[in-house]
Structure 1
Amino acid sequence: MSERPSGLDDPDYAAFAWARYRRMLLWMLLAAVIAVGTALYILDQVYGPLSWVAILAAIGGFGGTIMMAAALMGLAFLSSGTGHDEDVERIDR
């Protein structure tokens, strides 16, 4: 007797969940680009022309922080939203 797979074990639902995760990351990439652009504009206005090292540091700092937070929170939402957390709790008992 075979039970229907749940959560990320179901290929159709897994494809849907991962597509939703990638779509969220694309929106956050847009937010990161806007935040980096705004930060570079403000830094340029306050400090004058920036060196390429300062520009790369701002891109890495602001953009990297936003994208890392988006990736980790997205994975937490993916895990919780697909029932994976409940599956792990059920297996541990």
Structure 2
Amino acid sequence: MTKKSPLDDPEQAAFAWARFRRIMRFLFLLTVGIVAIAMALLYKQGIAASIHYYIATALGIGFVMLLAGALMGLVFLSSGTGHDESVEDPTGDSWRDKDGS
């Protein structure tokens, strides 16, 4: 039988997901700022580029930053709630454990 995850408790899950949303809001604001700075720097260089160049650059920077932030946020959520410790090793390989038990 598998161990219960701390995320099974609605109160802990609500707290964890609220923290995740707070991290994502901060990251979204940071991303918007960085995209604005990047667009200003590109425009200031005076390169004759199509509007599609600016759109692709903004979407590329935004997508990469938000995806990386979401994945890191999920790692923090999983680790911070103790969800990682609730996973059992079905193979029983003791050599993978740090303490060897």
Gap regions ≥5 residues in structure 2: 93-101
Q: Which amino acid aligns with 1:85?
A: D
The alignment-based identity, stated in percent, is: 47
Corresponding position of 2:65: 66
Question: How many Å separate the matches in 2 of 1:7 and 1:73?
Answer: 19
Let me know the Cα RMSD of the aligned residues: 1.5
Alignment of 1:1-93 (within 5 A): 6-48=5-47, 50-88=49-87, 91-92=88-89, 93=92
Structure with bigger RCO (C-alpha 8 Å, 6+ apart): 2
Q: Name the TM-score, length of structure 1 as normaliser.
A: 0.85
Point out the more displaced range, 21-30 or 51-60. 51-60
Question: How many Å separate the matches in 2 of 1:62 and 1:44?
Answer: 16
Question: How many Å separate the matches in 1 of 2:8 and 2:42?
Answer: 47
Q: How many residues align?
A: 87
Q: Name the TM-score, length of structure 2 as normaliser.
A: 0.79
Q: Which amino acid aligns with 1:64?
A: F
More helix by share: 1
Larger of the two Rg values belongs to structure: 2
**Which portions of structure 1, spanning 4 or more consecutive aligned residues, are displaced by more than 3 angstroms?**
47-50
Q: Which amino acid aligns with 1:26?
A: R
Question: How many Å separate the matches in 1 of 2:40 and 2:49?
Answer: 10
